[in-house]
Structure 1
Amino acid sequence: MTVLDAAIALACRVHAGQVDKSGKPYILHPLRLMLKFDDLEGQLVSVLHDVVEDGDVTLDELRLLGISEAAVMAIDCLSKRPGEPYERFIERIRPNDLARRVKVEDIRDNLDLTRLRSLQEKDLVRAAKYHKALRYLLEG
């Protein structure tokens, strides 16, 4: 099994049973992101970008899978801390080029409002927040 195979399997385990805002299996989101990248590090970080924040996975477990330190650090940057304001989270991502590239694709995917069955005010508020973050990340 390659490190990418192991990363995909781990993401599938962590996200099993989770659904996105449109009711579809959540795992489709990290898989869509992964397919945006041609480089292994980008693929690994994108498919694993939510496993620490949303699952019971530690950074050391990622290292044991054979994930590079650069990828582990990017995943750490992409893991929002409890109580951390969203703006601070985005500021923390920008200096890490790998994390920034993945977060840009993450936000672009999350901005696809066509996936939602109906559009509500909260969706527009969230989209405005994502647009602001995307502009900030693309500046640097």
Structure 2
Amino acid sequence: MNTEDTLPPLEPAAPPLADDRLVALALAVAAREHAGQTDKAGRPYLTHLLRVAHRVRPARPQTVAAALLHDVIEDCPVTAAQLLAEGIPARVVDGVLLLTRRDEVPADAYYAAIAGDEVALAVKTADIADNTDPRRVAELDRSSAERLRVKYAAARVALGIAG
């Protein structure tokens, strides 16, 4: 792993990721479901999930677990019912469902639902921060970088979060 792939250190108040059973379960599910997937820069997709989990605030077990699982229903062949059956708490699954894009849900309704939920908002804020990290954006072609800049600027406005 090169230095660009290293995770930021956790703030002193944040719990270590490996010390919580819920977080360990979420990490195992995310690693299994996203196995073989890569991000836009060609890196293992799990590295994105780990960076989001490290960025999420408050770094409580439920928000960290939701950060690790935030794309699992959208990008993998797993359902909310399967996550519940594996022992992921309903509160975490509810957050993941809010973060899951659906064609029939307009963007304004999608962001309004996220903004009204503490877990989903914490995860989406961390996800946007990771997706707009200048080191990550620098690896993209100019067109993709501009498209993401516009997309996430609009998302920040819709969520009422600072840029």
Establish whether TM, by shorter chain, passes 0.5.
yes
User: Structure 1 stretches (4+) deviating beyond 3 angstroms?
Assistant: 82-88
* SS of residue in 2 equivalent to 1:35: helix
Residue 80 of structure 1 is matched in structure 2 by: 101
How many residue pairs get aligned? The number is 139
Contact 1:3 1:65 in 2 (8 A): no
Q: Which runs of 5 or more residues in structure 1 are unaligned? A: none
Contact 1:113 1:119 in 2 (8 A): no
* Alignment root-mean-square deviation, CA: 1.9
| Overall identity of the aligned pairs, in % | 32
Q: Distance between the aligned counterparts of 1:64 and 1:124, measured in 2? A: 40
Residue 49 of structure 2 is matched in structure 1 by: 30
Q: CA-to-partner distance for each residue in 1:60-101, whole Å, 9 max, x for gaps?
A: 122122222221111110011135444442233211121011
Q: Distance between the aligned counterparts of 2:38 and 2:23, measured in 1? A: 23
Q: Match for 1:14 among 33, 44, 52?
A: 33
Q: Which runs of 5 or more residues in structure 2 are unaligned? A: 1-19
Q: Distance between the aligned counterparts of 2:34 and 2:140, measured in 1? A: 24
Q: TM-score normalized by structure 2?
A: 0.76
Q: TM-score normalized by structure 1?
A: 0.87
